[in-house]
Amino acid sequence: MASALPPTFFSLLLLLFPISAIAQTSRNITVGSSLSATDDNSTWLSPSADFAFGFHRLNNSDFFLLSIWYDKIPDRTIVWYANGDRPAPRGSKVGLSSDRGLVLTSPQGEELWTSQNLTGVVASGVMNDTGNFVLRDSSFNKVWESFQDPADTILPTQNMERGGFLSSRQSETKFSKGRFQLRFVQDGNKQKIEVGTLVLNTINLPTNEPNTPYYVKESTVGGNASNPGKQFVFDESGYMYILKENEERSILSPEILSTGNSYFRATLNFDGIFTLYSHPKTATANESWTAIWSVPDNICMHDFIESGMGICGYNSVCHLQPDKRPRCECPRGYSLLDPNDPYGSCKPDFIQGCKEDELSSQKDQYYLENLTNTDWPTSDYIKLVPFNEDNCTNSCLQDCMCAVAVLTDGNTCWKKKLPLSNGRFTGTFTGKAFIKVRRENSTLLGPYFPVPGNETIRKKNQDGLVIGGSVLLGFSVFINFILIATMLYSFYFIYQKKIKQINQKGVGLEMNLRRFTYKELEEATNGFKEELGRGAFGVVYKGEIKMGSNVQLMAVKKINSVFQENEKEFNAEVNIIGKTHHKNLVRLLGFCDEERQRLLVYEFLSNGTLSGFLFGDSKPDWERRIKIAFGVVKGLLYLHEECSTQIIHCDIKPQNILLDEYYNARISDFGLAKLLMMNQSKTHTAIRGTKGYVAPEWFRNMPITAKVDVYSFGVMLLEIICCRKSVDMESEGEDRAILTYWAYDCFQEGTLDALVDYDMDDMVKLERCVKVAIWCIQEDPTLRPTIRKVSQMLEGVLDVPVPPCPFPYAASTIVTAN
């Protein structure tokens, strides 16, 4: 028989048991641990496995979001995310380091995100059961936590101090920063809002500057300004309130009696509604989150947003749905600027303006569409009293600036101009709104399909049918039979021809572009007579085509024969280009893909290329040049991060930047890089190894990323600043031949005014722009900022640190040679 164990053994077991249990449930993450963005979906779980920290794959793409989510809910609900504006490519890694905490890097080693404001040296990390990811030092003190860096959601036990805020995402599935904020106000002087007030407001992206709040939760009780809110509390029971300096509570959400069986979260939705949700912990696949409280009650009718577009986009109308969520709609005659953003701005489906109206010979160019219960209360530019309905509508029709006329109180006429903001639909509005729409036969954009219900157009159509019917009845039955048979045969012939074309081409393009015939474009360009420019892709010719009663100018790019074999590639790239919509991109109107002839048809821009603008006889003024630089950045930001398919241009240079009639920058030739052979994208020179705008990685067998466009933009930004070409062998002195080297020398020596011929008053702006350009032309692509950061630095949203030497390789070579 085994001998009995001594009592001290059991005492030792009792002492060791809790330590063992803690070791199994705390799930500490040690320094050096990492997770990778792959399909295996490895995570760091909380002890209860309620929450997971890891990578969430975005829409079955090859991009991932570093995030925290409820892991036991079938429909994954993300409650925190880090890199919404910079999704991580497949193969990216997040690691835990002692000096920087969490660091997210791309497969190429580029830093995408890092935990900020550490208060000590990191020893370990842990995913808590509250949904809070915490970094701790060796004494288990918190040095960083996700609760202090929230995204769009707060959780029970997560409190917000003054100055804290939530930012909405762009849409339900897009996690880049949206335009709504929840703020716990720290500075009470702005917008006359008291300290410790909880507000909801819009922002004007890409800045964080708040517009007028559309919801305010007062921070004082009974008007006692000496008792402001000090903390926004979301306690463990799912109860939200503002805690005052004197410990009083200002209640927000209703108190919840039973919390043990449900999860809770409060989210600032992408449409601006702040909502408290609950979800059963033992939910089935059919159960989802239930909204139990939200603010504001009617977001469409809440306070006007004095700056910015309002709750919906410009020219849009906000409708309140039964669940208190807004729905944004374009009025008749208008359509979404971005078809993928139903909450965005609307654009007229016709050209409206004083200059365009003068070009039309028709007097009765517009009709007014009556909109019931609709108003844009902040877009007025003139008030007319007393004015009846006829006076009001006639005044708008005759005024080229008037887009909408609203009659209130039966005798007050409000005329409104574009863009319209704070649009709303409400049954309590008793005025009459009339929106102006161009008639079918006077549009400058081509055929405009009449709005159903327009009596004038309907009557014309009916008159035409009556006349046509009378003529037909005048013929004999035999003649009518011959006419009908001929028509049917013609339709059949055309139909068979179209089917044959479709079968030859395969799947048609998915966007609304016009397919031109080669003969049409040959006639439009007068036999390709007037050349506008030429480049690696082909030659561009000026053309014009009649659309309705008007003539529209266009630029026709005849693709080089070297690309004629790439039919699938051509159609794929045209499909991508056709889906892009941005004010800083040249618009593609149509294309020709006929046998071996492939052409692209763009809008014609009257002020030519940036090259001709910068390097002409006279020097353009500084403000106009910088406005052009901002426009190029915004266009690149759209191509890199905001359109449905990322587009790397690969050929940014002044010749590919066109200027419209108002000297707005418009990027051309985007989306064609995949058709360009690699050896046509590179040029070499004996001067320090590079020439022009080509990023160094093209020559070093390195991965080509969007950073190549950042490099090219940096070179071009210096050209915009200095009004000279990047390579000028005729310049005074060899040290000035290469602009990038000369600019860095001037920056180091403190002689930036030499770059602008001592013709610059604001040296602060000049230094900011030069520093941004030097960051962009770093030979090491990981040191270059993203185009979003470039935009933020140029606009002053981010500080611009002192850049390092952009060409260390060249510098080391020179030193060795000496």
Catalytic residue set: 651
What span, in angstroms and rounded, lies between the C-alpha atoms of 560 and 659?
Answer: 24
Burial of 218 (0-12, 13-18, 19+ CB in 10 A): middle
Query: Of all helices (H) and strands (E), which one includes residue 464?
Result: helix 455-474
Provide CB contacts within 8 A for 507, sequence distance 6+: none
What span, in angstroms and rounded, lies between the C-alpha atoms of 272 and 269?
Answer: 5
Q: What angle do CA 178, 180, 183 make, to 5 degrees?
A: 125
Q: Which two tokens stand for residue 245?
A: 């300096």
What span, in angstroms and rounded, lies between the C-alpha atoms of 651 and 655?
Answer: 9
What span, in angstroms and rounded, lies between the C-alpha atoms of 253 and 272?
Answer: 17
Question: How far are the Cα atoms of 348, 351, 638 from residue 335, in angstroms, in the given order?
Answer: 7, 13, 20
Task: Tell me if 337 sits within 8 A of 313, measured CB to CB.
Answer: yes
What span, in angstroms and rounded, lies between the C-alpha atoms of 256 and 411?
Answer: 51
Locus of tokens 């960083």: 144
Burial of 525 (0-12, 13-18, 19+ CB in 10 A): buried
Give the E-state strand segments of 491-549 in sequence order. Answer: 514-515, 531-534, 538-547
DSSP codes of every residue in 594-663: ETTEEEEEEE--TT-BHHHHHSSSSPPPHHHHHHHHHHHHHHHHIIIIISSS----S--SGGGEEE-TT-
Task: Tell me if 64 sits within 8 A of 78, measured CB to CB.
Answer: no
Give the E-state strand segments of 660-752 in sequence order. Answer: 665-667
Query: Given strand 380-384, what is the order of strands in its sheet?
Result: 366-371, 432-438, 404-408, 412-416, 380-384
Helix, strand or coil, per DSSP, at residue 31: coil
What span, in angstroms and rounded, lies between the C-alpha atoms of 691 and 684?
Answer: 6
Angle between helices 787-794 and 622-637 (to 10 degrees): 150
Provide CB contacts within 8 A for 432, sequence distance 6+: 370, 389, 406, 407
Task: Classify 608 in phi/psi space as left (phi over 0), alpha (psi -120 to 50) or beta.
Answer: left
Task: Tell me if 43 sits within 8 A of 34, measured CB to CB.
Answer: no
Phi, psi torsion values for 486, nearest 5 degrees? -65, -45
Provide CB contacts within 8 A for 635, sequence distance 6+: 582, 584, 585, 665, 666, 667
What span, in angstroms and rounded, lies between the C-alpha atoms of 186 and 117?
Answer: 19
What span, in angstroms and rounded, lies between the C-alpha atoms of 799 and 354?
Answer: 42
Q: Which two tokens stand for residue 411?
A: 């005798």
Q: Which is it for the CA torsion 152, 161, 254, 225, positive or negative?
A: negative
DSSP codes of every residue in 384-427: ESS--HHHHHHHHHT-TT-SEEEEETTTEEEEE-SSP-S-EE-T
